[in-house]
Structure 1
Amino acid sequence: MRDAEVPDWWRRLGLDGLVDVHVHFLPDRVMNAVWAYFDQAGEHYGTEWPITYRTSVEERLKTLSELGVQAFPALVYPHKPGMAESLNSWARDFASRTPGCVPSGTFFDEPSAAGYVHEALELGTRIFKVHVQVGDYDPRSGELDDVWGQLAEAGTPVVVHCGSGPIPGRHTGPGPMGEVLRRHPRLTAIIAHLGMPEYAEHLALTSYPNVHLDTTMALTPFTEAMMPFPRELVPRLADLQDRIVLGTDFPNIPYEYAVQLASLDALELGDDWLRSVCRHNGARLLGLAGAAEG
C-alpha cells in the first residue's frame, strides 16, 4: 500500500477517516534539532533513519489531510528542565489554529511540574506525552507523583515512551512505569511503540484497567529488522482490541505512512479490529464527539 491508496483502505473498512494518537509537531527550532539528531541515526542506532515527511508545517498538515487523518495531537516533549511549560503553551496555540489537532501537553521531572500540568488541564489539554529515554528521568520521581495523580483523576491520557527501543535509557523498561501504575492504577497510560522491545512485559500492564498501547512504528519492516514482534503475542493483540490504538510517529518516520497501516492489516485480525484500532479507540481516548461512530 502507498499513501495515495490510504483513503480507499479506510473507506473499505467503512470509516470516515483515521485517528492517530502519536503525531509530532514542534516549534521549528526544536523540530530541526530532532531532525538533526535523526540525521546521525547511523551513529546512534546503527541504521539510517531518513525523515520521509521533512517538509514545511503547511505541507505536513496537507499530507495528514490527504491521508484522511481527522484527529491527532501535536505531541511535544522536553529533553531538559525549564522547557515543558513553554512547549505546552505552544501546543495549545498550535491546536487552537489547526483543524483536527487536539490540545496536547508534556512535563518534566522538576518542582514546577504539578503546577503547570494543573494549568494545562484547566486550559483544556486533552493528552500528554512523556519520553523517559529522551528526558532521562525516573518516572517514579517524587516530583511527578502529584502529576500522575492529577492525570489519573482527570482521566486524561498520557502517551509514555518507556520501552527500551530504539536504544535503552537509564529508566526505560517496564519496571519504572509499572511502579507508577501500582501507585496510580487508574492512570490512562498509552504505552508508545507497543512497548518495544519489551513487548510482552508492556502488554502485561493492561492488567490495569486504563492502560493502552499505541502501534507507533511497531510491526513495520523497518522495526521488525531490529526489534521483531513475537508472533506468539499476536493473539494478545486480538484480545486487546479495545486497548490498541493507532500511532505512527508522523512525520519522523523512515517510510511512507501507509506502511504502518499495511503492517496492521497484515496481522489478519479482521476488519472490526482495524476499525477499533485505527479510529474508534483513538477517538474515545481523545474525547471526540461521535467516538463510536464510523
Structure 2
Amino acid sequence: MEEGEGGGEAVAVRAFWQRLGLPGLIDVHTHFMPEQVLNKVWAYFDSAGPLTGMEWPITYREEESRRLALLRGFGVRAFTALLYPHKPGMADWLNGWAADFASRTPDCLHTATLYPEEGAERYVRLAVENGARIFKSHVQVGAYDPNEALLDPVWGLLADAGIPIVMHCGSGPAPGKYTGPGPVGRLLARHPRLPLIVAHMGMPEYTDFLDLAERYPQVRLDTTVAFTDFSERLCPFPAAERARLADLEERVLLGTDFPNIPYPYLHQLEALERLELGDDWLRAVCYGNAARLFL
C-alpha cells in the first residue's frame, strides 16, 4: 500500500476509518474504464456544465496507476471498476477489458456490465463463469428500460447467482426516459430476489427508493454523491428520511464516484458523518455491509 499517496487528504481519510476501528474502506462505486472510454466520460462532464449550469470538475483526473495509488493511499481495501455501454456491441468488449483489469488489480472487485441486446445472456453468463463479482447497469446513459425482454434472462441469471448490480436508475443529475422508481419497481416485482444496489441513493427520488429497499430485502443503496454539499444544493436529501437511513443500516453501502467527483474524496466521508447516525452506522456503511457481500 502506497501510504504516501494523497498527501494530507490521505492522512485525513485514514484517520476517519481508524477512529472507527475499521481495517479500511470498501467503496462499491468507483470507475475504471479503458482510457479512450474514460476520456469521453470526462469530456461529457466538461461539456455538461455550460449546458446545465452545473459545473462538474473532475478532482482526480489522473492516469490509471496514479488513481489506483490514491485509492490505496486512502486505505480503500476493495473497490469496483464500474463501466457501462451506451449502445449495442460495447458491453462484451468492456467486460473483456474489465476481466483483464481485475486480473492485474487484485483489490478491485471483478466488475462487468450489460446492455439489452442479442447475446446479452451469453456474455453475462460468461462474465459470471469468469468470476465477475458485481455488475453495472446505467439506465440513464444506456437509455433503456430495465424491463426489456432481452434482459429478462439476465436478471434471472444474476438473481440466481446472487451477484449484485449497481444500477443508476434515479433521475439525477438529469432525468432519462426510463429513470425513476417506476421501471425499477416493475423489475423488482418480477425479480424480487434481484440483488440491486441503487446508485446515488436513487437521487432525487430518495423516498421512493427507500420504499423499494424496505419492500425488497435484497435491495441496497449506495451513498455516491448523496449528502455532499454539491448534491445538497441540487437534490437535498429529506431530513425527515434520516430515521429510515438508520433503520436500513445494513443495506447502505459506501460509494463515491471516484475519480469523477467535483470535490475531495474526504468530503463524501464527512458528509456521512454529519448525518449524525452514529459510529455503528458509519462502520456498517463504510466497511461492514460490503465486507459481508464481497470479502
Instruction: Tell whether the structures are fold-level matches, with TM greater than 0.5.
Output: yes
Distance in 2 between the 1:276 and 1:160 partners? Answer: 21
Equivalent residue number for residue 121 of structure 2: 114
Any conservation in 2 of the 1:45–1:167 contact (CA below 8 Å)? no
Q: Does 1:229 align with 2:237?
A: yes
Equivalent residue number for residue 55 of structure 1: 62
Equivalent residue number for residue 285 of structure 1: 293
Distance in 2 between the 1:116 and 1:277 partners? Answer: 31
Q: Does 1:193 align with 2:200?
A: yes
Q: How high is the TM-score relative to the length of structure 1?
A: 0.96
Q: Does 1:274 align with 2:282?
A: yes
Query: Which of these residues, 221, 225, 241, is aligned with residue 217 of structure 1?
Result: 225
Cα displacement (A) at 1:159: 0.2
Any conservation in 2 of the 1:3–1:256 contact (CA below 8 Å)? no
Cα displacement (A) at 1:4: 3.0
Q: Which amino acid aligns with 2:288?
A: H
- 1:40 aligns to what SS in structure 2? helix
Cα displacement (A) at 1:61: 0.4
Equivalent residue number for residue 239 of structure 1: 247
Equivalent residue number for residue 291 of structure 1: none
Measured on the aligned residues, the alpha-carbon RMSD in Å equals 1.0
Q: Which runs of 5+ in 2 are unaligned?
A: 1-7
Q: Does 1:128 align with 2:135?
A: yes
Distance in 2 between the 1:99 and 1:105 partners? Answer: 15
Within 5 Å, give how 1:1-294 maps onto structure 2. Answer: 2-206=9-213, 207-286=215-294, 288=295
Cα displacement (A) at 1:116: 0.5
- 2:179 aligns to what SS in structure 1? coil
Equivalent residue number for residue 5 of structure 2: none
Distance in 2 between the 1:18 and 1:128 partners? Answer: 20
Q: Which amino acid aligns with 2:230?
A: F
Cα displacement (A) at 1:44: 4.0
Cα displacement (A) at 1:121: 0.5
Cα displacement (A) at 1:3: 4.2
Distance in 2 between the 1:262 and 1:132 partners? Answer: 29
Cα displacement (A) at 1:142: 0.4
Any conservation in 2 of the 1:23–1:251 contact (CA below 8 Å)? yes
Distance in 1 between the 2:52 and 2:197 partners? Answer: 24
Q: Which runs of 5+ in 1 are unaligned?
A: 289-294
- 2:32 aligns to what SS in structure 1? coil
Distance in 2 between the 1:221 and 1:74 partners? Answer: 25
Distance in 1 between the 2:34 and 2:135 partners? Answer: 17
* Fraction of identical pairs, as percent: 60
Cα displacement (A) at 1:76: 1.0
Count of aligned pairs between the two proteins: 287
Any conservation in 2 of the 1:76–1:129 contact (CA below 8 Å)? yes
Q: Which amino acid aligns with 2:242?
A: V
- 1:72 aligns to what SS in structure 2? strand
Q: How high is the TM-score relative to the length of structure 2?
A: 0.96
Distance in 2 between the 1:132 and 1:192 partners? Answer: 11
Equivalent residue number for residue 292 of structure 1: none
Cα displacement (A) at 1:285: 2.2
Q: Which amino acid aligns with 2:241?
A: L
Deviation string 1:145-169 (CA, Å, 9 cap, x unpaired) is 0000001111000000000000000
Distance in 2 between the 1:182 and 1:24 partners? Answer: 29
Distance in 2 between the 1:188 and 1:4 partners? Answer: 34
